[in-house]
């Protein structure tokens, strides 16, 4: 257990208490979550500084407070003077290291594999998890679909939880006997210090395309945020790297990893690399199959229960990571062959003679890739149901509309998670992008705000040999409207619409 003196030395902070022997048993950002013996981390928030909640934290048994000079002034003004303060200039810069130390640096006990990239993080994480679990290993996973230990969900929030929650989760996984932890690493987490204090035995880079420009402003800033996982002295640099070099961003990332001493292993579906893939084909059982070549020049058969060339790239990364982590490639291939990824090109089957697909694609490049994949599989027409999220990168809305309209015979613009924005304004931006295309380059465009109604309209439209793609939300089970989460699951709605059509009630 860490003492106050230990933590003060770790973060080179000033401490308001002369007695540094106080033991700290945990750390949290939420005063309401404080347990006796915890440290309360009082950060500046979007609307209010966390130091305003120090009194509540003290009443719940906080042993100390980590804050900045502004927070220290706020605490002094409240009259709370019976709790030690650790004062640092930048709390987020030290929060990860402090949290890791409090929980015994769990990422040094259990190897952590970090996956970053614009698209494919969840799928790749599931592929790696399946590879290790099929081989008999205990695996923890942290990402967009939540956190799991051997497939059993554990409470968590955000793609990458805040540093105190993340390190506590690592410790739980360590104490439960987990052998490997696979986690999605977002660009936000790398910039905001959420993964500080984490040792990444392996870091993997998948790809980069437009997203989060409301936060990063430019693609170069976005790239540099991702590059922190592979950059020496960033505080989050991985020990070894696996890099997909299918695009120019990957080639740059490989060079950064090389310069940082991460000894990158490369994968590619388009050219020469340590791991490469030949042409793909769809077998009678619906699996995608191809021959892959490993670093020794040996060939192996990849059987992947999901379509899309981009998923071959994800599988190559998963294979490279698994082998680098000590798993024989044949064991990894066996696990990958049986993976199920919720809300990723997920087929909803009620015996209909057309495809109904739910996918998480919510970025321009991902939308285009999924559409191209479905086009290669069907002989009939394609309907795309898609919206865009509110309070997020608005610059991608028109681009998504163009991609959806260009690739479909019917594009139904609908609501996603409008959050605090007017959903009609969001739909108008997406629709405007569709109408930028000449009539001969797009199909029909409809605007149906009610997502359930949009899904039913798409299912009613479909004929034998067609495909309906409901994109944007994938595995999600709620719709955020003005901060209120309403239950909504695309998979449930598609299945209900299929059943209604079968019974003649649609």
pLDDT the model gives residue 216: 64
Q: Same domain, yes or no, for 134 and 208? A: yes
Lowest-confidence region among 152-161, 269-278, 383-392? 152-161
Q: Same domain, yes or no, for 165 and 87? A: no
Angle of helix 364-377 relative to helix 397-407, nearest 10 degrees, comes to 10
Q: Would residue 285 count as lying in a domain?
A: no
Q: Would residue 445 count as lying in a domain?
A: yes
Q: Same domain, yes or no, for 137 and 211? A: yes
- Check pLDDT > 70 for residue 5: yes
State the pLDDT confidence band at 157, using cuts at 50, 70 and 90: low
Is the distance from CB of 41 to CB of 29 less than 8 angstroms? yes
| Residue pointed to by tokens 């790398």 | 190
Q: Name the residue among 161, 156, 39 with its Cα closest to residue 102.
A: 39
Output the known binding site. 29, 31, 117-123, 159-160, 186, 194, 392, 416-419, 472, 476
Q: What is the dihedral of CA 152, 174, 147, 206, to 10 degrees?
A: -120
- Burial track 424-456 (b if 16+ CB lie within 10 A, e otherwise): eebbbbbbebbeebeeeebbebbebeebbebbb
Distance from chain centroid for Cα 401: 23
Output the known binding site for meso-2,6-diaminopimelate. 392, 416-419, 472, 476
Q: Same domain, yes or no, for 359 and 489? A: yes
> Structurally, how many domains does the chain consist of?
3
Angle at 345 between CA 340 and CA 350, to 5 degrees: 85
Q: Which long-range contacts (CB under 8 A, 24 or more apart) does 455-458 make?
A: 455/385, 455/414, 455/490, 455/493, 455/494, 455/497, 456/493, 456/497, 456/500, 456/506, 457/412, 458/383, 458/385, 458/410, 458/412, 458/497
29 vs 156, more confident: 29
Share of the chain above pLDDT 70, in %: 99
Element (H, E) at 286: none
DSSP 50: G
Q: Same domain, yes or no, for 229 and 316? A: yes
Output the known binding site for ATP. 117-123
Q: Give the other-Cβ count within 10 Å of 153's Cβ.
A: 11
For residue 57, CA distances in Å to 79, 395, 476 come to 14, 41, 33
For residues 354-371, give the mean pLDDT: 95
- Check pLDDT > 90 for residue 301: yes
Share of the chain above pLDDT 90, in %: 90
Rounded CA separation 475/456 (Å) = 19
Q: Name the residue among 29, 49, 53 with its Cα closest to residue 40.
A: 29
- The mean pLDDT value of the chain amounts to 95
The pTM (predicted TM-score) of the whole model is: 0.89
Is the distance from CB of 328 to CB of 363 less than 8 angstroms? no
CATH number at residue 216: 3.40.1190.10
State the pLDDT confidence band at 19, using cuts at 50, 70 and 90: confident
Exposed, middle or buried, 97 (CB in 10 Å: 0-12/13-18/19+)? buried
State the pLDDT confidence band at 20, using cuts at 50, 70 and 90: confident
Q: Would residue 216 count as lying in a domain?
A: yes
DSSP 22: -
Q: Name the residue among 264, 285, 267, 263 with its Cα closest to residue 276.
A: 267
Q: Looking at 150-220, which runs of residues are DSSP E strands?
A: 152-154, 180-184, 200-205
Q: Would residue 30 count as lying in a domain?
A: yes
Q: Would residue 15 count as lying in a domain?
A: yes
Q: Same domain, yes or no, for 236 and 192? A: yes
Domain span at 176: 106-267+309-329
Q: Same domain, yes or no, for 50 and 175? A: no
Q: Same domain, yes or no, for 24 and 122? A: no
Judging by DSSP bridges, how do beta strands 85-87 and 112-116 pair with one another?
unpaired
Q: Same domain, yes or no, for 379 and 463? A: yes
- Check pLDDT > 90 for residue 213: no
Phi, psi of 266 (to 5 degrees): -105, 150
Q: Which long-range contacts (CB under 8 A, 24 or more apart) does 371-379 make?
A: 371/403, 371/404, 371/407, 371/408, 371/469, 372/407, 373/307, 373/308, 373/309, 373/310, 373/345, 374/307, 374/467, 374/469, 375/407, 376/307, 377/282, 377/307, 377/467, 378/465, 378/466, 378/467, 379/465
pLDDT the model gives residue 229: 98
**pLDDT digits 0-9 by tens, 104-147:** 999 999 999 999 999 999 999 999 999 999 999 999 999 989 99
Q: Same domain, yes or no, for 142 and 71? A: no
| Residue pointed to by tokens 């040999």 | 465
């Amino acid at each position: 257990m860490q003492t106050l003196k230990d933590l003060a030395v770790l973060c080179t902070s000033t401490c308001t208490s002369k007695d540094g022997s106080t033991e700290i048993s945990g750390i949290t950002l939420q005063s309401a979550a404080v347990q006796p013996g915890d440290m309360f981390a009082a950060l500046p928030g979007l609307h209010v500084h966390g130091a305003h909640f120090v009194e509540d934290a003290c009443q719940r048994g906080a042993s100390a407070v980590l804050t900045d000079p502004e927070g220290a002034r706020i605490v002094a003004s409240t009259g709370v003077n019976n709790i030690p303060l650790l004062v640092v200039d930048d709390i987020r810069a030290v929060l990860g290291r402090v949290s890791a130390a409090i929980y015994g640096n769990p990422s040094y006990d259990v190897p952590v594999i970090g996956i970053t990239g614009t698209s494919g993080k969840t799928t790749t994480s599931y592929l790696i998890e399946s590879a290790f679990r099929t081989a008999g290993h205990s695996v923890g996973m942290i990402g967009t679909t939540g956190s799991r230990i051997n497939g059993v969900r554990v409470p968590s929030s955000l793609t990458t939880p805040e540093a105190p929650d993340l390190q506590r989760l690592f410790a739980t996984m360590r104490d439960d006997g987990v052998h490997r932890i696979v986690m999605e690493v977002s660009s936000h987490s790398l910039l905001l210090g959420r993964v500080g204090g984490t040792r990444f035995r392996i870091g993997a880079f998948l790809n980069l395309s437009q997203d989060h420009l409301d936060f990063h402003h430019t693609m170069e800033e976005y790239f540099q945020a991702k590059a922190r996982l592979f950059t020496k002295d960033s505080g989050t640099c991985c020990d070894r790297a696996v890099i997909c070099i299918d695009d120019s961003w990957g080639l740059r990332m490989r060079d950064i990893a090389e310069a940082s001493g991460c000894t990158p292993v490369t994968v590619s579906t388009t050219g020469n690399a340590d791991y490469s893939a030949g042409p793909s084909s769809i077998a009678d059982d619906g699996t995608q199959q191809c021959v892959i070549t490993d670093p020794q020049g040996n060939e192996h058969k990849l059987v992947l229960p999901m379509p899309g060339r981009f998923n071959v790239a994800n599988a190559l990364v998963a294979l490279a990571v698994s082998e680098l982590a000590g798993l024989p490639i044949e064991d990894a291939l066996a696990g990958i062959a049986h993976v199920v990824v919720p809300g990723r090109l997920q087929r909803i089957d009620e015996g209909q003679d057309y495809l109904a697909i739910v996918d998480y694609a919510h970025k321009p490049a991902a939308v285009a890739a999924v559409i191209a994949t479905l086009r290669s599989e069907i002989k009939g027409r394609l309907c795309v149901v898609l919206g865009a999220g509110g309070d997020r990168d608005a610059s991608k809305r028109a681009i998504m509309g163009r991609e959806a309209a260009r690739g479909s015979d019917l594009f139904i613009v609908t609501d996603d998670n409008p959050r605090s924005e007017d959903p009609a304004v969001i739909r108008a931006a997406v629709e405007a992008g569709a109408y930028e295309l000449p009539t001969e380059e797009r199909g029909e465009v409809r605007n149906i705000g009610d997502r359930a109604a949009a899904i039913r309209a798409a299912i009613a439209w479909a004929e034998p040999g067609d495909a309906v793609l409901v994109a944007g939300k994938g595995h999600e089970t709620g719709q955020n409207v003005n901060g209120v989460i309403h239950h909504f699951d695309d998979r449930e709605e598609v299945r209900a619409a299929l059943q209604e059509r079968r019974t003649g009630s649609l």
